[in-house]
Amino acid sequence: RLLTMSHLLARPSVRSLLRGANQSRYMSVYPLKNEETIQNFNSVSNKRVLYFTASWCGPCKAMAPVYDKLSDSYPAVAFGKVDVDDQLPLSEDFAISSVPTFILFDGEKVTHRFSGADPSKLDNSVKELTELPE
């Protein structure tokens, strides 16, 4: 069942993830494992990318170095990583049905969402996200 953004925003974990502020980055990719890491990720930037992955997923393993490199190339964007097996509630909140899935946000607005191991599409989507006005 695909949830609307208003349904997602009603959930505290999603609301806290989507709020953002402009502060310094401390790491390239934020592993989102609990409420504290979600809050830290939330405080980094209004422009964010969520990468839903799984340890058993071959295409996810292929995308991991691409994602890490992009996080270094775009320091104004926060890059978060969610293991769907470890964070089932968050994965359900975002209606993740396949991995890898990437969701890009500008503030609370989803600008891009896609599934699949497509490095070019991910790079272009992040580039477009950075070109949006603040």
- Alpha-carbon span 39 to 20, nearest angstrom: 9
**pLDDT at residue 28, rounded to an integer:** 79
26 pLDDT above the threshold of 50: no
**pLDDT at residue 1, rounded to an integer:** 44
Active site residues: 57, 60
24 pLDDT above the threshold of 80: no
**pLDDT at residue 20, rounded to an integer:** 44
pTM of the model: 0.79
**pLDDT at residue 105, rounded to an integer:** 92
Q: Which of 19-33, 79-93, 119-133 has the highest mean pLDDT?
A: 119-133
126 pLDDT above the threshold of 90: yes
Q: Omega before 65 cis (within 30°)?
A: no
- The pLDDT mean for the chain works out to 83
Residue 95 backbone class (left: φ over 0; alpha: ψ -120 to 50; beta: rest) = left
Position 40 confidence tier, pLDDT thresholds 50, 70, 90? confident
116 pLDDT above the threshold of 60: yes
Q: Show the tokens assigned to 127.
A: 């580039």
